[in-house]
Amino acid sequence: MQTSSSSSSILLNLDIFDTESIHVLPNSNLSITFRFLRPGDQSEVKILCRDWFPIEYPDKWYDDIVYDKKYFALAVCDVCTQQIIGLIVANILPIENCNREDQQILNRIFSLTASACYILILGVVKEYRRQGLANLLLENLLNTLYRHETCKAVYLHVLHSNKQAIQFYQSNLFQYRTHLPYYYLIKGEHLDAYCFVRYINGGYPPFTLTDFATNAWSYLTQIKPCRLLNTIRYFLTDKFLFTDYYKRTSTYRQISRIV
């Protein structure tokens, strides 16, 4: 669930995407098609988002996700009704253009060249849930991202109490990365968020103490002093140069931007 927008996105090549086929879900016999959002979808998407999320997005945001080619905005529709029954919206950003607190999702070894994909929206209409539609939307996004080798991670923010979404992401190999205190301002209440990340295309997270201990031991047993020294260097850089200060200031700044 997104709270603010970022710039400098990377355009995805969507020419390879097949939006013509009709798929039938094996368990329910539901016929579905996928298509990208198009002009005129704004009011339908607005109604869906109001139902799915406790945050009110400005009208301009709906125009943006429909018109701006930087967004991967894929809808799944019921063939019978032609209505949108699920939606995923994401965009790829160079890691240096992600919000400060999100730049910590990737190991700093990737910092100059890598990008990450942020999921702004993922939702499925209640009556259509637990049929694998969110899985399919995510799978389509991932298949597109696998062609962008510099994209090393897919990430999102989720309200700490949104158990169903957390279970969904965990079942799809997303890992808990950070706790963002007071990240959302919802109906006058400051609520925490979690950041979940799935690493792709060889991406991996910064080293933690446990990683450090494990790596140090395996490097020691393989007697590769240079690799061990590198591990220590990356660990120390992550721990001491990338401080919590940025995380907190940008979090508070972000709250003031929330509608």
Ligand X SMILES: CC(C)(COP(=O)(O)OP(=O)(O)OC[C@H]1O[C@@H](n2cnc3c(N)ncnc32)[C@H](O)[C@@H]1OP(=O)(O)O)[C@@H](O)C(=O)NCCC(=O)NCCS
Tell me which residues are annotated as active site. 118, 157
Q: Which stretch binds ligand X (CB under 6 A): 19-27, 105-113, 166-174, 225-233?
A: 166-174
Write the CB contacts of 184 (distance below 8 Å, at least 6 apart in sequence): 1, 3, 54, 55, 159, 190, 191, 192, 193, 255, 258
Residue with smaller CB distance to ligand X, 135 or 208: 135
Q: Which two tokens stand for residue 61?
A: 């945001």
By the rule CB under 6 A, 165 interacts with ligand X? yes
Among 131, 144, 231, 251, binds ligand X (CB under 6 A): 131
Among 118, 123, 140, 206, binds ligand X (CB under 6 A): 123
Q: Which SS3 state, helix, strand or coil, does residue 85 take?
A: strand
Q: Which SS3 state, helix, strand or coil, does residue 40 take?
A: coil
By the rule CB under 6 A, 145 interacts with ligand X? no
Q: How far is Cα 115 from Cα 94, in angstroms, rounded to an integer?
A: 4
Write the CB contacts of 123 (distance below 8 Å, at least 6 apart in sequence): 48, 49, 51, 52, 53, 86, 87, 134
By the rule CB under 6 A, 19 interacts with ligand X? no
The nearest distance, CB 194 to ligand X, in angstroms, is 10
By the rule CB under 6 A, 156 interacts with ligand X? yes
Among 66, 134, 145, 200, binds ligand X (CB under 6 A): 134
By the rule CB under 6 A, 135 interacts with ligand X? yes
**Around Cβ 223, how many Cβ atoms within 10 Å?**
8
By the rule CB under 6 A, 171 interacts with ligand X? yes
Q: Which stretch binds ligand X (CB under 6 A): 7-15, 101-109, 124-132, 201-209?
A: 124-132
Per-residue binding letters, 43-82, with ligand X (x by CB under 6 A)? ---------x------------------------------
Q: How far is Cα 160 from Cα 194, in angstroms, rounded to an integer?
A: 6
By the rule CB under 6 A, 83 interacts with ligand X? no
Instruction: Give the rounded distance of the alpha carbon of 209 from its chain centre.
Output: 25
Among 130, 179, 190, 233, binds ligand X (CB under 6 A): 130
Q: Rounded to the nearest 10 degrees, how much is the dihedral formed by the CA atoms of 109, 111, 114, 119?
A: 110
Q: For the sheet containing 151-159, what is the strand order?
A: 22-24, 31-36, 72-78, 84-94, 115-124, 151-159, 189-199, 175-186
Please give the residue ranges that form the binding site for ligand X (CB under 6 A). Answer: 1, 52, 122-124, 129-135, 156, 158, 162, 164-165, 167-168, 171
